[in-house]
């Protein structure tokens, strides 16, 4: 296998490193590569921080074949490199779709499992890993085993959300959900402040929910934004148009305070005061940013951090207010932040979701970002919340055990299958997730 020396970075581009990357196109080359030099697998690199960076990595994007599909039960087996959008585009016309879809269709099947991702329907459908029937896992010696929750409960639960630490996810069987229509009926409502927002979430009965926060609003407007509630409408599925692309890094001022403020003003005001009902094709609703390729370049060369946490219900209102205040005061605010309700569904030991509210926001990678991120991480921990490792670039290693109560079980299981730590990524090393040794 030829290895390519290249810069490896997460989607946020704040953490980059030089790495040796192999990209097998055949299954036989994959096991040869692992035997030759075992290392973690990476997908489309849509995690934001350093979850998909390491000194050596196997790029899985060319192992992207569908293997089998049962049109009676909706059980799909595919190689881990297929993307969520590919599954949607291929199976929506037949009436099926991934039961859980993250905010980008570029995420791979393997990545969705390794981060146990969630979508806008988490309160109903749980996390991605809960729809995985079984999967093929390749160990450090290149041998494969098929595991399921039934056959190997501990290893399976360590693999779902397991950051690739139990081995290379080669392929997986997932239960698709029925896709009743190609369009979503979306109701958009303006939310005047944080309390109104949380209240609206708590009383919402919608299948799909997401909130967009205006991060330039202060004082009595703090937490202002738009709540989107959606359900399937009717009409056929339409494949997306060719996306536009951000061709190069935007200059530093592109995300400056006045521009962000103007953008937010326009974004909020496009929804009339009385709210509105719109129809959106599935792609536009589920993957709103995929329409612009390389949108991460808008943050310029220095990149950005994403912070996402979940906070338990009783602590959420007070802690969210503190977080928003800190972010607004910093002036590092991204244009849009996402607020969502999560249910209790989680598929693995290191899964992110817990019942409560989740906040996700982008922070421009300026020197002052460090202090803000530290403050946000601290607030999340003090509230008994959890920071999402798929997004993280700044957590304190000491916080991980507080946030992830099954960490010890996870460590024990990983130690059994990868005693020498060949699958460690930069994230895992930075946060000492495998332990101090």
Partner 1 sequence: MSETWIILGATSAMARAFARKLAQNGANLLLAGRDMAELKRIAADCELRGATSASAVAFDARKPAKFEGIIEQATASGGSLNAAVFVGSMPEQSEIDADASLIDGVVQDSFTGAIRFLHTLAPHMEERESGTIVGVGSVAGDRGRVGNYVYGSAKAGFHTYLSGLRNRLARSGAHVVTVKPGFVDTSMTWGIEGMFLVASPDDVAESLIKAVKKKKNVVYTPWFWRYIMLIITHIPEFIFKKLSI
Where along the sequence are the contacts to partner 1 (CB under 8 A)?
Answer: 2-5, 23-29, 62, 65-69, 90
Q: Which is nearer to partner 1, 64 or 424 (CB)?
A: 64
Min separation Cβ 247 and partner 1, Å: 15
Residue keyed to tokens 């290149």: 142
Min separation Cβ 67 and partner 1, Å: 6
DSSP 37: S
Min separation Cβ 284 and partner 1, Å: 22
Q: Which is nearer to partner 1, 26 or 416 (CB)?
A: 26
Q: Which is nearer to partner 1, 175 or 430 (CB)?
A: 175
DSSP string, 323-365: HHHHHHHHT-EEEEEEEEEE-S---STT----SEEEEEEEEE-
Q: Which is nearer to partner 1, 89 or 358 (CB)?
A: 89
The answer to whether the Cα torsion of 349, 154, 110, 127 is positive or negative is negative
Provide the angle, in degrees to the nearest 10, between the axes of the packed helices 316-330 and 194-203.
140
R_g (Cα) of the chain, nearest Å:
21
Min separation Cβ 24 and partner 1, Å: 8
Q: Which is nearer to partner 1, 24 or 225 (CB)?
A: 24
Residue keyed to tokens 């296998």: 1
DSSP string, 252-307: GGGG-HHHHHHHHHHHHHTS-TT-EEEEEEHHHHH-TTTTEETGGGGG-TT-EEEE
Give Cα 65 distance to the centre of its chain.
22
Q: Which is nearer to partner 1, 280 or 294 (CB)?
A: 294
Q: Which is nearer to partner 1, 6 or 396 (CB)?
A: 6
Given its phi and psi angles, is residue 13 left (phi above 0), alpha (psi -120 to 50 degrees) or beta?
left
**What is residue 19's three-state secondary structure?**
strand
Min separation Cβ 22 and partner 1, Å: 8
**How many CA atoms does the CB half-sphere of 164 hold within 13 Å?**
35
Q: Which is nearer to partner 1, 68 or 420 (CB)?
A: 68
Distance CA 315, CA 311 (A): 7
Helices (DSSP H) in 11-164: which residue ranges?
Answer: 27-36, 84-91, 109-114, 122-125, 153-159
Distance CA 46, CA 37 (A): 24
Residue keyed to tokens 């000491």: 398
Residue keyed to tokens 């370049």: 297
Q: Which is nearer to partner 1, 64 or 214 (CB)?
A: 64
Q: What angle do CA 294, 300, 303 make, to 5 degrees?
A: 80
Distance CA 408, CA 406 (A): 6
Min separation Cβ 177 and partner 1, Å: 18
Min separation Cβ 136 and partner 1, Å: 13
Element (H, E) at 177: strand 168-178
Min separation Cβ 23 and partner 1, Å: 6
Choose among 211, 46, 191: nearest CA to 120: 211
Min separation Cβ 241 and partner 1, Å: 14
Q: Which is nearer to partner 1, 26 or 218 (CB)?
A: 26
Min separation Cβ 26 and partner 1, Å: 5
Spatial contact of 396 and 377, defined as CB atoms under 8 Å apart? yes
């Amino acid at each position: 296998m030829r290895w390519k020396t290249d810069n490896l970075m997460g989607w946020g581009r704040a953490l980059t490193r030089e790495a040796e990357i192999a990209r097998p196109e055949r299954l036989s080359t994959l096991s040869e590569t692992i035997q030759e030099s075992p290392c973690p697998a990476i997908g489309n690199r849509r995690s934001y921080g350093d979850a998909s960076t390491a000194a050596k990595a196997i790029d899985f994007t060319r192992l992207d074949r569908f293997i089998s599909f049962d049109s009676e039960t909706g059980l799909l087996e595919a190689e881990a490199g297929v993307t969520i959008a590919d599954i949607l585009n291929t199976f929506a016309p037949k009436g099926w779709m991934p039961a859980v879809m993250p905010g980008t269709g570029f995420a791979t099947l393997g990545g969705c499992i390794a981060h146990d991702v969630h979508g806008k329907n988490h309160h109903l459908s749980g996390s991605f890993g809960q729809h995985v029937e079984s999967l093929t896992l390749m160990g450090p010696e290149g041998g494969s085993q098929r595991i399921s929750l039934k056959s190997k409960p501990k290893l399976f639960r360590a693999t779902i959300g397991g950051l690739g630490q139990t081995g290379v996810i080669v392929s997986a069987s997932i239960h698709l959900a029925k896709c009743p229509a190609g369009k979503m009926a979306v109701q958009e409502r303006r939310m005047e402040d944080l309390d109104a927002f949380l209240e609206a979430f708590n009383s919402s009965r919608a299948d799909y929910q997401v909130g967009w926060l205006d991060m330039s609003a202060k004082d009595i407007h703090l937490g202002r934004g738009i709540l989107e509630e959606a359900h399937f409408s009717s009409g056929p599925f339409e494949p997306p148009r060719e996306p536009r692309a951000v061709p190069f890094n935007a200059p530093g001022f592109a995300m400056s305070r006045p521009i962000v403020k103007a953008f937010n003003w326009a974004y909020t005001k496009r929804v009339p005061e009385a709210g509105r009902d719109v129809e959106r094709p599935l792609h536009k609703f589920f993957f709103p940013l995929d329409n612009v390729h390389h949108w991460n370049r808008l943050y310029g060369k220095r990149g950005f951090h994403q912070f996402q946490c979940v906070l338990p219900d009783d602590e959420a209102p007070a802690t969210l207010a503190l977080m928003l205040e800190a972010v607004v005061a910093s002036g590092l605010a991204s244009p849009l932040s996402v607020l969502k309700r999560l249910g209790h569904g989680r598929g693995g030991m290191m899964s992110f979701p817990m019942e409560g509210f989740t906040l996700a926001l982008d922070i421009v990678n300026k020197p002052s970002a460090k202090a803000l991120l530290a403050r946000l991480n601290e607030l999340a921990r003090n509230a008994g919340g959890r920071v999402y490792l798929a997004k993280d670039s700044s957590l304190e290693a000491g916080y991980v055990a507080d946030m992830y109560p099954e960490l010890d079980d996870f460590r024990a299981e990983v130690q059994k299958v990868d005693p020498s730590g060949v699958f460690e990524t930069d994230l895992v090393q930075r946060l000492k997730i495998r332990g101090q040794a």
